[in-house]
Chains A and B, each alone.
Chain A
Amino acid sequence: MSAASTTPTRYQTVRRRRTAGRVAGRSGFYLLVSAFVVASLFPFYWIVITSLKTDNEISQGTKSLLPGHITWGNYANDFTKQDFVRPLINSVIVAGATTILTVIIASLAGYALARSRIRGKQLIQGFLLVAGFFPVIAMIGPLFIAYRRVGLLDSLPGLVIAYLIYTLPLATWFLAGFFGQIPRELEEAAIVDGATRLQALRKVIIPVAVPGIFTVAILGFILCWNDFLIAVSFMTTPSRYTAPLAIVGLGQSQYQTFFNLIDAAVVIVTLPIALIMLFAQRRIISGLTAGSFR
């Protein structure tokens, strides 16, 4: 080693050149990756600092990339004067109710699709797959007419029912796969011990399936929380708006748009989902990819 360091062998020069190339490649790689990271995170930084600006700073235009006088006034304003609380609560209620409904309906159906020998199983599963791709915009018109007749327009229950379009196909499909992976012996043992099948499902299978159900619940909640199209089509009373719908009408004045007010609301609505995403990333990914790979 010591001899080689004074007069490098040919092998070592080649090797050194190779490492130099590799270092360049590595740093290029890291440069690329950091560019992507900045591109995906910078907009968040921007809306956060915008949400902390005063109306004056907004009117004066951008002067720097750093935050100016930090004010929490926009958040306070959103919560008090703009009455953004009501839409937030509505969003939580609707997304929560849809999630619960989805979990119940999809667990039952998913279990049956995985375990019982019903006819038309393939038909149902095929329909689930296709229904997941149905354009929601094409459902709006017929549902609007039907809702108008039965008085579900502009109501939160109407939204919950319509949101099942987003959640139910995916959830049922995913849970059918998930239940299919749970060993049969579990419920058989329960049945041998004298449990009915429903009891076996409730007391033995469901507890084992909690991770899968949790995945479905998170995904379902996100999908409902993110909806705009259905809410903007069916809801007309501002006090029944969901949060995304309320944001669109926020901060508009005759002369300018107050992005500080809007961005504060954007931060409020995005934050819970971003946190869920960070903590449950693995589950969400498994749910999404299971939906797409059979």
Chain B
Amino acid sequence: MTARQEPATPAGPLETARPAAAPAIGGNGPRRPHSYSLLAQDRRFGYALVAPAVVALLAITAFPLIYNIWNSFHQVNYLFPATFGDFAGIANYKRLFTDNLFVPSLVRTLGFTAVSVAVELVIGLALALALNRPFRGRGIVRAAVLIPWAVPTVLSAQLWKSMFDPQSGFVNYVLAHLHLPLGHTTWLAGTWTAWGAILIADAWRNIPFMTLLLLAGLQVIPRDIYEAARIDGAGAWQTFRRLTLPLLKPALMVALIFRTLSSFLIFDVVYVMTGGGPGNSTQVLAYFNWQAMLQQYNYGYGAAVSVALMLMALIIAAVYVVAFRTEQVL
């Protein structure tokens, strides 16, 4: 539609960038006297193909985003039909700060995110470095190490719940047999032991993902750089610090953004293993958000929490991008 306004543009940079496209389609030209310019025709075709995806994406991602913001300023509570849809001002946002569950769960979530990402990064990096070295049986080892990622998150939580079960589980059996402490712990009943169990369940499933992304990053680094470093007499640590780490930066950034965001939004594992308990001690933001909506039917307040969550996710991603960019300049 808009393309018709400038039918004369197919010249210039477009043509030089893709020299082959126009002449070939041009062979079709005379047969279609009604068509406008080739560019317009090409665009109409393109728009038609893109349309379903754009419409679907707008409906399932952009619309909820905007609708969320609208809801967050309104009373949207199914328990109070009389006021349903009334303007609420910033009441929902105000409640975030007065709610004695929101701020603590924010703190817990940030703490969990920091610890889990750090643990996953260290182990994932070590694994990626190991798997990047050639050794016998590497293919099998790689498959074995990556396989936990195939387990759906909820099921990995179920799996670890069954490992940590005091009665029919594995962890207590081994600890008690080796006369180690904690052999008689009811893991999910204590705050810190429950967090430990959640951390292990989450790390077990997600370290493979971290490893996978870092390994892909390592494999892009050309081998001869290492050759050169060795000839120049660089030690293992020096090579890692000065060569591998800087060259791994793009992969590190992507892996860290992915993992930090998904740790920050942890839901399945908490839902299955602790349900936020004992008390509210493993309550995390996503679970808090979900409860506000699905259990308390307060979709206005839930929307405010969601908006806050999205903003924080955005900030996290931005911090990483900026941090990695400035370091690259130096």
Contact = CB atoms under 8 A, between A and B. Distances in A.
B157 to A, nearest CB: 9
A135 to B, nearest CB: 5
Contacts of B144: 37, 40-41
Given A43-B204, A191-B28, A293-B254, A109 B149 contact: no
B204 A138 contact: no
A275 B163 CA distance: 23
Contacts of B313: 133, 135
B146 interface: yes
B243 interface: no
A262 to B, nearest CB: 6
A270 B155 contact: yes
A142 B150 contact: no
B290 to A, nearest CB: 6
* Contact count band on A: 35 or more
Given A109-B50, A266-B158, A141 B68 contact: yes
A152 to B, nearest CB: 12
Contacts of B213: 288-289, 292
B258 A191 contact: no
B147 A277 contact: yes
Chain A facing B: main interface SS: helix
B96 interface: no
Interface string B244-257: 00000011001101
Given A119-B2, A144-B293, A106 B53 contact: yes
B71 A142 contact: yes
B63 interface: yes
Interface stretch (A4-12, A16-24, A75-83, A161-169): A161-169
A184 to B, nearest CB: 5
- The interface centre, meaning the residue of B39, B168, B255, B310 with most chain A CB atoms within 10 A of its CB, is B168
A70 interface: no
B49 A292 contact: no
A27 to B, nearest CB: 12
Contacts of A30: 135
B155 A269 contact: yes
Given A36-B127, A138-B310, A112 B162 contact: no
B204 A191 contact: no
Contact of A172 (B53, B148, B265): B53
B67 A116 contact: no
Interface in A154-175: 161-162, 164-165, 168-169, 172
Given A135-B265, A266-B159, A117 B56 contact: no
Contacts, number: 292
A228 interface: yes
B48 to A, nearest CB: 8
B163 A46 contact: yes
A250 to B, nearest CB: 9
Interface string B166-179: 01111011100000
Interface stretch (B18-26, B189-197, B226-234): B18-26
25 contacts: A36-B130, A43-B159, A44-B147, A47-B162, A108-B53, A109-B50, A109-B53, A116-B43, A116-B46, A119-B3, A133-B257, A134-B65, A137-B267, A140-B293, A141-B71, A142-B71, A143-B60, A188-B20, A229-B290, A233-B290, A259-B162, A266-B158, A274-B147, A292-B213, A292-B251
Interface of A: 29-30, 32-33, 36-37, 39-41, 43-44, 46-47, 50, 53, 57-59, 61-62, 65, 104-106, 108-109, 111-113, 115-119, 124, 127-128, 131, 133-146, 161-162, 164-165, 168-169, 172, 184-185, 188, 191-192, 197-198, 222, 225-229, 232-233, 244, 247-248, 256-257, 259-260, 262-263, 266, 269-270, 273-274, 276-278, 281, 285, 288-289, 292-293
